[in-house]
Structure 1
Amino acid sequence: MSLWNAADAVAATGGKSSGDWTATGVSIDTRTLEPGDLFVALKDQRDGHEFVAQALEKGAAAALVSHRPADVSAAAPLLIVDDVLKGLESLGRAARARMHGKVAAVTGSVGKTSTKEMLREMLAVQGRTHASVASYNNHWGVPLTLARMPRDTDFAVIEIGMNHPGEIAPLAKMAEPHVALVTTVAAAHLEAFDDITGIAVEKASIYEGVVPGGVAVLNADIDTAAILMAKAQDCRLRDISFGEHGYDFKLIRADLQDDTTVVQAEMGAEPLLYKIASPGRHFAMNALGALAVVAALRADIALAVGALGRWKPYKGRGQRERIHLDAIEVGMTLDLIDDSYNANPTSMAAALDVLAAAPVTNDIGRVSRGRRIAFLGDMKELGPDEGALHAGLAQLPSLQSLDVVHCIGPLMRSLYDVLPEAQRGDWFETAEEALPRLKRRLDSGDVVLAKGSLSMKLGLIVDAIREMGHAPPGDEEG
């Protein structure tokens, strides 16, 4: 199906097109480019113009550029604009203008991507649904998501993030959502803000992009909820609150089981029961906010609840899996919780809650009692109080329930130094240093969490644990 043709793209961007072409997708990366894509030559770590020739060789329909690269034929199909990023933004705005479905936007210090994916799952059973890929939520991710949106989309879910003040509002105005959700406000990116109040003000600015008569969905449990509420009122939006103190969507109880969260809530005066195929109170809360968005979009709540039960977190965002440590003995397993994609104090506390509630298995390994083991990496961008915020994890009730805590990174040394000796595992400068003796530190019956900021590369530990595994007995091919 045609997404962009030369005439429409020229009308959207004001650029000049060489040749007549039709694109079925939009790509910024030649490694994942599909034949028929419009290649956008953005400048990031490398200048995308260096890859235009390669993109065309791989079957790109055309390339969005600011000039014709020297190694590209004069006959090549190009859309030439003054500024490539601004050209992409123009495509995004034009795609939004021609789409007549409903748009939801999601931001928050924690849970943006998981909540966006929940919404994708819940709305996909109710109409043609388009959503951000992975965590494409920044100054190029949002316009790229919009530019990729088919004109016959029924529901779109746009994730919006930020690192510095002033980033969210322009992206929200580009997306023009009918409903905007703030999952929570927490200590993240504090290096760029004076305090958490500043973060709340920035998150609340998503409401500036909501269309007239739209809806603001907000977390009523956070200390800065009043800031969100005031912003919604200033923007003349109807507000829907969720949480334990939510007056529209109220969380009554979340039961964390082995691989499931069972939730009792209320939607107004009506009972609302739902299940998530992954343990986590934070998932229960994110899902409640997502259900509030579904209601605000006037979509079917019953269908949404059914679809929600099939949702599972992405790799690196709380994904749980069973690792079979023996090719013959079926019971020789450990459970791995991969939460290695990101970390701040709020998401760290949520992950530790999940680990603390996870059941272990006794009498199946070298160690008679199964253990709850955490590999915790530095939480980045926390500002001048970063040391205290790391050490403060030791006071969390959930951390008291853990058997061994291994700390990774210079900031996590602050936690390591205040851990009780019985819990204190090892401290490593980097994740790589933890790999050589990893197998000795783990055993059948254990539940293991890996959590840290992405730059700490806790994914190396996750991958190494996965490599310890065998196919479940009876599952071998052949």
Structure 2
Amino acid sequence: MNPITIQQVRQVVGGEPCSPLPADAPRIESVCTDTRSMKPASLFIALRGERFDAHAFLPAAAAGGAVAALVERVPADVPAGLHLIKVPDTRAAMGALARFVRLRLGGTVIGVAGSNGKTSTKYLIHAALKPALRGTFSPGSYNNDVGVPLAIFPADPGQDYLVLEIGTNHPGEIRNLALMALPDIAVITNCAAEHLEFFGDIDGVRREEASIIEGLNPTGTLVVNGDDPALLDAVQEYAGKRVTFGAAPTNDLFATDIVEDRRGVRFRLNGDGEVTVPLLGRHTAINALAAIAVARCMDVPQESILAGLARARGPDMRMQLVQVNGITIINDAYNANPPSMKSALETLCMLQTAGRRIAVLGDMRELGRTSEAYHRALGQLAGGCPLDALVCVGREAAWTAEEAAKTLGPKRVRHYAQAAQAAHAVAGALRSGDLVLVKGSRAMRLEEIVQAIQRQQAPAVAAG
């Protein structure tokens, strides 16, 4: 970020200085919320949560190089040399400051929203752009009102692009983040059953995802999944350029002849040139179309786009292929909802394997009153797959196990209340040649099962 003065910070956040702010105070060169990553000449934002209060770490922030801090209350002992600016809500002030910093960026800001595939699409957009342009993308799943600012603050104002992930689990979040990020290009990957406990139904999800247009540059571009007519209706008020992508040939960009194997996905773009992406899942082809659309908007040559996608890498725990002592794991433990579960099972059933085909499926959280119906539907889907074993984990996954057992039989279906219980059982039962899918909502922590398999199955090292 370009350095800013403490006076500018106070003005942007509308805060009250707790002591006179000297005109010759060092300029702010970075913004931090974690004292473990403080830098010299930084601004510390004292966030509060249900289980933490960063106001207790002001001395550590000052020792780490902070010259100023945003606070909601003034502590009894203020570290010497640390200028405090009091605000009603440090989280809201952080968002206001992020918008200010974003407006000082010279490159194109790209916001990626949608129910599924946001993080993977973000990676693919970066892969398509970086052969010809210079830019960055938000780390991990920095997609809420803390993560998006933390992705904006360190961005180089002179770079060509910044790709941001825009997430939600409550109504109004995407609108707020869009008004903070002010994207020049917005992508909506898809809309599906997610967080229905808060959105009510899929139409509620569509309205939420479509609200990204409220912060989208009016002369920018909306890249939207055109396979969902109701989603297109939800964004029809956007007056700027619109590019559609999807499986249907009515889209501006569409994929045909999709082929998937352990090396990734290959498809034809609009029935013509071949595109190769080394990531699992047929849905990768659709995500790649969004990336191609963004890159074309930024005038990246087609050969550069294809070369970048062919070298793309994906995020951890999203259809990540892991090999352990002859066992193949599809680690998709980061999150889950009904459509992504279906897609993951399709990949599991499509990939060739010399051994058994096993699915480990956890709860799909935040489905509200529809949870039982969706979990039972998942059990019926899994029951129709050529599985040698199905392991269900979590309270809601019991419905999945009950339905699947009607087809697969009780001997091939197991249910465990927690990941730790399932980890011990699964890790000890696998053998070389097996293909295992591990997928569930983030709260289920099914990566513990993957880690247990890696520990149990790792080749022994001979003592020397």
| TM-score with structure 1 setting the length | 0.88
Q: Is the 8 A contact 2:379 2:399 kept in 1?
A: no
What is the match of residue 172 of structure 1?
178
Question: Any residues of structure 2 matched to 1:87-102 within 5 Å, and which?
Answer: 87-102=93-108
Shift of 1:403: 1.6
- Residue range with higher mean Cα deviation, 299-308 or 191-200: 299-308
* From 211, 217, 238, the counterpart of 1:205: 211
Report the equivalent of 1:44: 49
Give the paired residue count.
453
Matched, 1:404 2:397: no
Q: Say yes or no: does 1:228 pair with 2:231.
A: yes
Pair 1:464–1:4, CA change in 2 (3 A): farther
Q: Which residue in the other structure is 1:335 paired with?
A: 328
Q: Which residue pairs with 1:255 in the alignment?
A: 259
TM-superposition CA deviations, 1:311-363 (whole Å, max 9, x none): 22222111111112xxxxxxxx11111111111001111111121122212xx
Contact (CA 8 Å) 2:345, 2:382: kept in 1 or not? no
How many angstroms apart in 1 are the aligned matches of 2:340 and 2:459?
31
- Partner amino acid, structure 2, of 1:403: D
Q: Are positions 1:357 and 2:350 aligned together?
A: yes
Q: Distance in 1 between matches of 2:206 and 2:13?
A: 34
SS of aligned partner of 2:341: helix
1:359 partner amino acid? Q
Cα distance in 2, alignment partners of residues 26 and 272 from structure 1? 45
Instruction: Establish whether residue 239 from structure 1 lines up as the match of residue 242 from structure 2.
Output: yes
Match of 1:372 in 2: 357
TM-score (norm 2): 0.90
Output the CA distance in 2 between the equivalents of 1:455 and 1:86.
26
Give, in whole Å, the separation in 1 of the partners of 2:81 and 2:66: 14
Aligned to 2:367: 382
Is 1:3–1:23's contact at 8 Å kept on the other side of the alignment?
yes
Structure 1 pair 34–323 and aligned structure 2 pair: CA distance change class (3 A):
farther
Aligned to 2:78, the other structure's residue is in SS state coil
Q: Please, what is the CA RMSD of the aligned residues?
A: 2.5
Change (3 A) 1:317 1:89: same
TM-superposed CA distance for 1:252, in Å, is 0.6
Q: Deviations over 1:1-30 (max 9, x none)?
A: 854443543443344446722444322223
In structure 2, the residue matched to 1:276 is: 277
Contact persistence 1:232–1:238 (CA under 8 A): no
How far off its partner does 1:62 sit? 3.6
Superposition map of 1:391-430 within 5 A: 391-396=376-381, 400-419=385-404, 420-421=408-409, 424-430=412-418
Give the aligned partner of residue 441 of structure 1: 429
- Which residue is 2:147 aligned to? 141
State how far apart, in whole Å, the 1-side matches of 2:387 and 2:262 are. Answer: 16
1:471/1:32 CA distance change after superposition, 3 Å: farther
Q: Per-residue deviation at 1:397? A: 7.5
Question: Contact between 2:360 and 2:439, CA under 8 Å: does it hold in 1?
Answer: yes
In 2, the alpha carbon distance for the partners of 1:200 and 1:188 equals: 10
Alignment partners' CA distance in 2, 1:63 and 1:310? 42
Q: Distance in 2 between matches of 1:272 and 1:75?
A: 61
- Equivalent pair of 1:352/1:398 in contact (CA under 8 Å): no
Identity %: 36
Q: Unmatched 5+ residue regions in structure 2?
A: none
1:459 to 430, 447, 458: 447
User: What amino acid does structure 1 have at the position aligned with 2:356?
Assistant: R
2:33 to 19, 28, 35: 28
CA deviations 1:176-212 (Å, max 9, x no partner) are 2121111010001111123111111111111121112
Are the counterparts in 1 of residues 192 and 339 from structure 2 also a CA contact under 8 Å? yes
- Shift of residue 80, structure 1, vs aligned partner: 4.2
For 1:435, what is the secondary structure of its paired residue?
Answer: helix
**Residues 253, 7 of structure 1: CA spacing in aligned structure 2 closer, same or farther, 3 A cutoff?**
farther
Alpha-carbon offset, residue 127 of structure 1: 2.8
* Structure 1, unaligned runs of 5 or more: 325-332, 362-369
